[in-house]
Amino acid sequence: MDQWRNRIPDNIACKYEFYNFNSALEILTQSYPEEFGEIVRTLESFEIKLDDILEKGGNESNIPKKLNELLRPLGWKEIEIAGDLVVRLLEGKKRKEVYREFALKEFISGHKIDYVKGDVAIDMEWNSKDQTFDRDLYAFRTFYECGVITCGVIITRSESMNRIFSALGNHVKKKYGASTTWMGKLLPRIHARQHGGCPLLVVGLTPDTVSDWKGEIS
What pLDDT, on the 0 to 100 scale, is given for residue 6?
93
Report helix, strand or coil for 146: coil
Q: At what angle do helices 24-31 and 33-45 cross, to 10 degrees?
A: 110
Write down all domains in the chain, each with its CATH number in brackets: 3-79+111-209 (3.40.91.20)
Q: Tens of pLDDT along 1-54?
A: 589 999 999 999 999 999 999 999 999 999 999 999 999 999 999 999 999 999
> pTM for the whole thing?
0.90
Q: Tens of pLDDT along 153-174?
A: 999 999 999 999 999 999 999 9
What pLDDT, on the 0 to 100 scale, is given for residue 60?
67
Our measurement of the distance from residue 40's CA atom to the centroid of its chain's CA atoms, rounded to an integer in Å, reads 15
Confidence tier at 218 by pLDDT (50, 70, 90)? low
Name residues whose C-beta falls within 8 Å of residue 21's C-beta, 6 or more positions apart in sequence.
Answer: 190, 195, 199, 200, 201, 202
Cβ pair 164, 211 in contact under 8 A: no
What pLDDT, on the 0 to 100 scale, is given for residue 22?
97
Adjacency order of strands within the sheet including 200-205: 16-21, 200-205, 151-157, 120-125, 97-117, 77-91
The span from the CA of 111 to the CA of 199, in Å, is 18
Confidence tier at 93 by pLDDT (50, 70, 90)? confident
Task: Please determine, for residue 86, whether its predicted confidence score (pLDDT) is greater than 70.
Answer: yes
Cβ pair 28, 39 in contact under 8 A: yes
What pLDDT, on the 0 to 100 scale, is given for residue 45?
97
> For the chain, what is the mean pLDDT?
93
Q: Tens of pLDDT along 180-211?
A: 999 999 999 999 999 999 999 999 999 999 99
